[in-house]
Structure formats: structure tokens, C-alpha cells
Amino acid sequence: MRKSKAETAETRKRIIEIAARIFKRNGIHATGVSEIMAAAGMTHGGFYRHFSSKEQLVAAACAASLEELVDAAQIAVDGGDETFLQHLADILSAEYRDDSSSGCPLVAMGSELVRADPETRRAASHGFEGMIDTLAQREGSTGDVQARESAIFTLSSLVGAVTLARIVDDPELSMQILEVTKQRLGVHSKPQPTHSCQVETAK
């Protein structure tokens, strides 16, 4: 029995979502199509009913991940300064750093995206440009040069800080990278509670 167009589209979407998580967790080159299809509960042969190549799936997964980030950033910008700064604080947190299956593909797969095919690099570039436009709205408009430069600086700081915080093997230095970046971006931490289970949160 043939699937409807809606069912086919939903299956394709599910494969992309699963692929995005696995690519970010394990890396592009270390992840095979068979692993992704198995995680989706499908056979390897079914892959080619939805994608012409692994490269096409990588591009689609990268685009989908970045689209989610753009949507989240838009909600944060629309929510005002406090919501936006909390959004930055969430990104510059130990929880975000340690969750390699979700979050930004530019952080998780950056070194591989540099060497990716043109379609994948275009998807990554388009997503980054979308983030710039969204963050620029907070300080002006997408056509405002100063607002755009500020957005580029903020995004570059976030990507660089989380990437380095994941790379270094010194836990104290890793947290220092995140904390210093928060301070420089104007994300100030609330006073820590006095009880023994201290959890730092940000405004």
C-alpha cells in the first residue's frame, strides 16, 4: 500500500530530526546512513525514497536545526531584554555545553561543515544569516549596520565559547570560558543561594 504524500513528508521530517541529533552527537563522518535509518525504525533501502545522498540529508538536517534556533531566538527577542538575556544565559550554561545531541550544529559540527559540500555550507550559511537578522532586530533593524555587527559579534561569541568549553579538558577553565563570555555579553548572574546545593542562574 502506497503512503500518502502527507505520510511521506512526515517520515522524511522524522528522518531529518533523528539525523540532526545523531550528526551532532557523533559527527557527520562517523555516522552512517544505516545507523540513522535504524534509529528511525526503517531499513537502509528506504533511505533513497527520501534522499538522493547522505550529503543531501546532512544539508537538510543542518537547515532544520538552524531553523529551530532562529525560531527560538525570535521568541527570545520578542520577549524583551530579560527573556533575551535568559536565552543567552541558557546557551552559555553547563547544561547546553554537555547536551551534544541538541543545540547549534555550528558548534557540534563546525569543523566538518567547513569541509562539507556546497549545499550543506549554503544551508549553514543561510541559517547563520537568519540568526543575524533575528538578533539584529533587538537593537535596530536588519538593515542597520551597527545592529548587524553587534549580532555577528554576539553569535560568534556564543559559538566560539560553547565550542571551546566543550573542547578543553579542564572543567574549571570550561566554566570560566562560559562565565567570561556571559559577562562580556552583559548576561549577569543572579546571587547564588546560600544552601549547599547551589545552582547558578542568569537574569
pLDDT of 142? 60
**pLDDT tier for residue 57 given thresholds of 50, 70 and 90:** very high
Query: What would the grid cell of residue 163 be?
Result: 565550542
Neighbours of 1 (CB within 10 A): 3
Q: By residue range, what is the domain housing residue 94?
A: 59-184
Q: Does residue 3 lie in a domain region? A: no
Nearest to residue 179, comparing CAs of 161, 194, 196?
161
Does residue 8 register a pLDDT over 80? yes
Does residue 41 register a pLDDT over 70? yes
DSSP string, 120-171: HHHHHHHHHHHHHHHHHTTTS-TT-HHHHHHHHHHHHHHHHHHHHHHH-S-H
Measured distance CA(178)–CA(100) in Å, rounded: 16
Q: Does residue 172 lie in a domain region? A: yes
Query: What would the grid cell of residue 41 be?
Result: 525504525
Q: Does residue 39 lie in a domain region? A: no
Q: Does residue 123 lie in a domain region? A: yes
How many distinct structural domains can be found in the chain? 1
**Residue linked to cell 565550542:** 163
Q: Does residue 166 lie in a domain region? A: yes
The CATH number assigned to the domain holding 63 equals 1.10.357.10
Q: What is the pLDDT of residues 94-126, one digit of tens each?
A: 999 999 998 999 999 999 999 999 999 999 999
Does residue 203 register a pLDDT over 80? no
Q: Does residue 125 lie in a domain region? A: yes
Q: Which of 2-16, 25-39, 86-100, 121-135 is the least confident region?
A: 2-16
pLDDT of 197? 32
Q: What is the pTM of this model?
A: 0.84
Q: Does residue 68 lie in a domain region? A: yes
Let me know: does 159 contact 104? Beta carbons within 8 Å. yes
Let me know: does 192 contact 71? Beta carbons within 8 Å. no
Q: Does residue 126 lie in a domain region? A: yes
Q: What is the pLDDT of residues 134-168, one digit of tens each?
A: 999 987 766 789 999 999 999 999 999 999 999 99
**HSE of 56, CA atoms in CB hemisphere, 13 A:** 9
